[in-house]
Structure 1
Amino acid sequence: MFVLTIDQRGSTGDRDRVPELISELRVLTDPAGGAAFERSVGDEVQGVLADPGAVVDAALHALRSGRWYVGIGVGHVVLPPGASSREGSGAGFVAARRAVEAAKAAAPLVPLSVVSGAMGTDAGGTPAGDEGVRACANAEAVLRLLGRLVHERTEAQWRVVDALRRLGPDRHGRQKQVAGELGITEQSVSRTLVRSGWQEEWAARPAAAMLLEYARTRIVGPGGASDAGG
């Protein structure tokens, strides 16, 4: 499982943005097998996801505004069916707490961290999770690159990117439609997409998800088994 703990940056000098983020993340992600995003404490949001692609979606959405620290914990989760994330326990939650604290300490880097929730020893008796730790570090590196890309995108670039995304998964040949919707030329749409790094982002998202999933399969849970089941 993947536990995301997302904390608002500079909350003492800003309004409470938690309800807005929760609404946005609930549209983006399907909590099937996990727990929907909700306020955990203060200006903090937490959710449990089974799908690594949804983790990537949630993390990059939070990083887009630059207003959030994002911690991703990978590991065993105990969560009764239908329970909220506040009722959950397990190494994945501990790892998510460590991850968000690491994200806060990451300045001036992209404020995201991925932490392994490995426990015990593996079948060979070596400390648990060495490979899982490396896999989490690799996932973190790719997500930080993507996070910088989405955070540095200008408002004008986001207008074009968001318009294209609203057209659905089949984006081939849709630049003309975007141009008509926004009242700009098709050439402007094309140039903006190139400058925004949109193609690179969407090409790399599956790689980030694959690395998260690999980390999940390599992390040792209770009993010394790989935490492949959550």
Structure 2
Amino acid sequence: MFVLTIDQQGSRSSPDRIPELLDLLRSVPTILPWERSVGDEAQGVVARASDVVDAALACLRDGGWYVGIGIGEVEQPYPESSREGRGSAFVSARTAVERAKRTGDRAPVSVEGPEGSAEAEGVLALLGRHIMARSEAEWRILDLLQPDTRGTQTAVARTLGISPQAVSKAAARAAWQEELAVRPAVARLLTWADDGVESQRT
């Protein structure tokens, strides 16, 4: 199981953005819903690794968040609120978000848990760096592109009133194809680490 603890950067000198974060993550499926945990933090319990990747990268794109991903056990029966949750995944998420605050120039995301967590963190941070570096103009193009759809670059160019070559160059510059390839790889690494929780228990 995965617990994400997400902390707002610079919360003492900026408005409360937690409602904005909860709205951003509303579409990401959870076992225990996204909610404010304490002060300037939000937390959620997620079952699928692909949803963890989606949530983490959405936060990095939005900017201004420290993302901690904890892999471990969540005690059952599940409570109604993640604030009442217990288990090693919650402890790991707390450790991860504190480490995320010390990543320096790297993407502010950390993964804590069994064997495989460090590998997942490294690839996720590398992907996050590309996402954080994209310009608004690049995002306008990427948000319209449809993976594995023939003619999509031509359609996007027509919609935005630019050339297909400009769309192609923007996608290449933003490493869009690489992101599509790497997202499942990060999810597999997270799943591998999560499988290690069961191995440790047995």
Alignment match of 1:155 (pick from 121, 127, 136):
136
- TM-score normalized by structure 2? 0.94
Unaligned 5+ runs, structure 1: 117-131
Q: Look up the match of 1:201.
A: 179
Distance in 2 (CA, whole Å) between partners of 1:162 and 1:79 is 39
1:7 aligns with 2:43: no
C-alpha distance in structure 2 between counterparts of 1:15 and 1:198, whole Å:
32
Instruction: Note if 1:171 corresponds to 2:113.
Output: no
Kindly provide the amino acid, as one letter, of the partner of residue 104 in structure 1: K
**How far did residue 100 of structure 1 move?**
0.2
Sort the Cα spacing of 1:172 and 1:6 in 2 relative to 1 into closer, same or farther, 3 A.
farther
Q: Give the Cα–Cα distance (whole angstroms) in 2 for the partners of residues 80 and 23 of structure 1.
A: 27
Query: What's the Cα RMSD here?
Result: 1.6
Partner of 2:24: 24
Partners in 1 of 2:178 and 2:122 — Cα distance? 15
User: TM-score if structure 1 supplies the norm length?
Assistant: 0.83
Aligned AA (1:202):
L
Asked if 1:114 corresponds to 2:95, the answer is no
Alignment of 1:88-107 (within 5 A): 88-107=85-104
State the secondary structure of the residue aligned to 2:124.
helix
| 2:3–2:44 CA contact under 8 A, matched in 1 | yes
Distance 1:154 1:95, change over 3 A: same
The change in CA–CA distance for 1:217 and 1:151 in structure 2 (over 3 A counts) is: same
Question: Which segment drifts farther, 136-145 or 13-22?
Answer: 13-22
User: Alpha-carbon deviation of 1:88?
Assistant: 1.1
The answer to whether residue 37 in structure 2 is matched with residue 40 in structure 1 is yes
Deviations 1:117-148 (A, max 9, x none): xxxxxxxxxxxxxxx23x00000000000010
The AA in structure 2 aligned to 1:215 is: A
**Segment of structure 1 superposing worse, 200-209 or 13-22:** 13-22
User: Aligned partners of 1:44 and 1:51: how far apart in 2?
Assistant: 22
From 132, 135, 141, the equivalent of 2:122 is 141
Structure 2 residue ranges without an equivalent (≥5): none
Q: Is the 8 A contact 1:77 1:89 kept in 2?
A: yes
Runs of 4 or more, structure 1, over 4 Å off, are: none
Question: Match of 2:37, SS?
Answer: strand
Is 1:225 the counterpart of 2:184 in the alignment? Answer: no
Contact 1:79-1:87 at 8 Å conserved across structures: no
